[in-house]
Structure 1
């Protein structure tokens, strides 16, 4: 294992110095699950039936990753310290951080300019946060003067490059979409691996903190559309994000939403027998994973979408478990009903399911649990399609984009390219948020780590 990590570390050193992204030493595997979410049949088919250029390319490794702590007290929702693209200080950066566009190619740089892939190509401006294996800095490119986020990962001689970093870099190198954070550069030295991302000034968690009590319905619509747009893109490439939460959804000053923090992401074609069930922060973890299932598809991400959707509308987390997995499941079943073999075929065979373990709850209308869903046209119906205990019943990202909830958006959004922002469509913009929070509603739940 140590030898493998050292070998992979050396591959980063070689790749970082290339002018053109040739990709890592990657493989395609023709065997994969064809099971998917409702409406996703066209998205999931054997890899050997897909054109070579569309196949997901994955890093040649089957290693696991570092799971987060199981204890709810340690899964309290906090701002992600390892998020590479946010202003962790929370200071006002509006005047100094215009939206970062794709920087110019190396070929347009003068011969005397610093080269990409070099430490001295970037200037560190301030420290944004620090995690267990990485420190994040706000920085500036000396090549084009643009603001960047520098995720500096510490390497240990005996361990080499952390696999979470390998996954994040290898997946992001092949993803080019307006709603996915852009990886500009990779810098590898003996001591560190630095991932250079576009700089985005905040995230959805901080945005909801600032505008408590629920977001403007039109802004919810725009944020959700962008989230589904980004997910549909990666799901069609057989990639699961696996860690959807507000902290990992970056928000630019113009309202662009970008999927970030792909450290736990997994290409669906990786030849691994199972996935760890320690994947998603507790509040956004679906019941099948909570019950010990290790066989899942894009349906995992769609549960998280439903939780985030409700949180944006209601102003509080959908299922803020405070104790343990048992408590988390009971909160879910209290609203959606305790599952049975009739409502969820195969639930009795899941490792942690015992029929006498949970009270028998009947399913409620979602607006009974989250009243603001009833104030927004079609919101309750769409939320119910995301929040299905039986994974196969969850709507896919591709199908959700066609839901009536988005009928008010211009049809021109269906015509823009993957790399185009939705705000490139004339007249689309965020609406002013009302900061008049419903104090009673807000005090009954937790949001962004506040209780």
Structure 2
């Protein structure tokens, strides 16, 4: 296996080569923890099971670019071989700061991710781990795909209780931060809203890392919820009124000054504190933000590496 191109809680992803086809691939190695020796096969098999159901242009594994092979090896480790894309979104933003801030490209990326999520949610699958390094980008910077379904989960109706140990903390919605075990596809919407703001600003909107600090930061911008704005919030396990002084929502446009008004409106709906009022992915795709779309990227450079490298040095 070649260079490490990604890592997570359960293992690493290496760049590799299929010798028989000379095809570059991504090899995901999953390890069991010492106290969960049987977790690797179950983790891999759960992910494989979900991937077999999904066939979409913006999800890693389609009819053309598909999950190529999965080989559970032992109770301690297993391998999954995927199509290879050149960057994840985090690396793309760092390497090409100017290109990744292109307004039309951001709109194009967001539309593609929403399209993939709509498909997942129609199959009753929550991703539960959306973050920039789980979104893969091709070399041209025109295609983005949702990757890493290791924490994805089927949901039913009525909703059951789910594990709160999901979603990277930087992209975790307030309902999970407040200890809710009852959540739905709205968790993916919140995570994508955080990513949307991050691509616009090239920095996280809610920067605090620890749970209570993050809630304070979220509430300082989006407003502190109460029983009126979010019925049921006061009954959540980690909702302690004295810990969260009342704050009114701020003008979100001040925090994303480079985003057009329609985009600010969409972002505010994606980051709605009350998950029941948070916009769905399907409604987000129909939002006015995507209406004035000329389909062409602004200020596109034929060779952008040099310009972006110069910008990064500055």
Q: TM-score, normalised by structure 2?
A: 0.86
The CA deviation at 1:379 is 1.0
More displaced stretch, 248-257 vs 262-271? 262-271
Unaligned stretches of 5+ residues in structure 1: 1-123, 412-426, 440-451
The answer to whether residue 92 in structure 2 is matched with residue 207 in structure 1 is yes
Aligned residues: 297
Which residue number corresponds to residue 64 of structure 2? none
The answer to whether residue 15 in structure 2 is matched with residue 138 in structure 1 is yes
SS of 1:383's equivalent in the other structure is helix
The CA deviation at 1:383 is 0.5
Unaligned stretches of 5+ residues in structure 2: 62-66
- Counterpart-to-counterpart distance in 2, 1:135 and 1:144: 23
SS of 1:193's equivalent in the other structure is strand
Report the CA distance shift for 1:338/1:187 in structure 2 as closer, same or farther (over 3 A): same
Q: What do residues 144-200 of structure 1 show as CA deviations (whole Å, max 9, x unaligned)?
A: 322111113346895263433222221112211110012111123347422110001
- Counterpart-to-counterpart distance in 2, 1:359 and 1:208: 36
The CA deviation at 1:233 is 0.6
SS of 1:363's equivalent in the other structure is coil
Identify the match of residue 431 of structure 1 among 284, 296, 300. Answer: 300
Which residue number corresponds to residue 246 of structure 1? 132
- Counterpart-to-counterpart distance in 1, 2:261 and 2:159: 42
Kindly indicate which of the two structures has a greater share of residues assigned to helix. 2
Which residue number corresponds to residue 178 of structure 2? 291
Which residue number corresponds to residue 363 of structure 1? 249
- Counterpart-to-counterpart distance in 2, 1:194 and 1:239: 23
Report the CA distance shift for 1:311/1:160 in structure 2 as closer, same or farther (over 3 A): closer
Aligned ranges for residues 45-444 of structure 1 at < 5 Å? 124-128=1-5, 133-154=10-31, 159=38, 161-182=40-61, 183-190=67-74, 192-212=77-97, 215-254=101-140, 255-269=142-156, 273-322=160-209, 324-373=210-259, 376-409=260-293, 431-432=300-301, 435=308, 436=311
2:56–2:116 contact (8 Å) kept in structure 1: yes
Structure 1 or 2, whichever has the larger Rg, is 1
1:204–1:249 contact (8 Å) kept in structure 2: yes
- Counterpart-to-counterpart distance in 1, 2:281 and 2:165: 23
> Does 1 or 2 have the higher relative contact order (CA < 8 Å, sep 6+)?
1
SS of 1:378's equivalent in the other structure is helix
SS of 1:173's equivalent in the other structure is helix
- Counterpart-to-counterpart distance in 1, 2:150 and 2:242: 37
More displaced stretch, 393-402 vs 143-152? 143-152
- What CA RMSD, in Å, does the superposition of the two structures yield over aligned residues? 2.7
1:282–1:321 contact (8 Å) kept in structure 2: no
Report the CA distance shift for 1:245/1:278 in structure 2 as closer, same or farther (over 3 A): same
Q: TM-score, normalised by structure 1?
A: 0.61
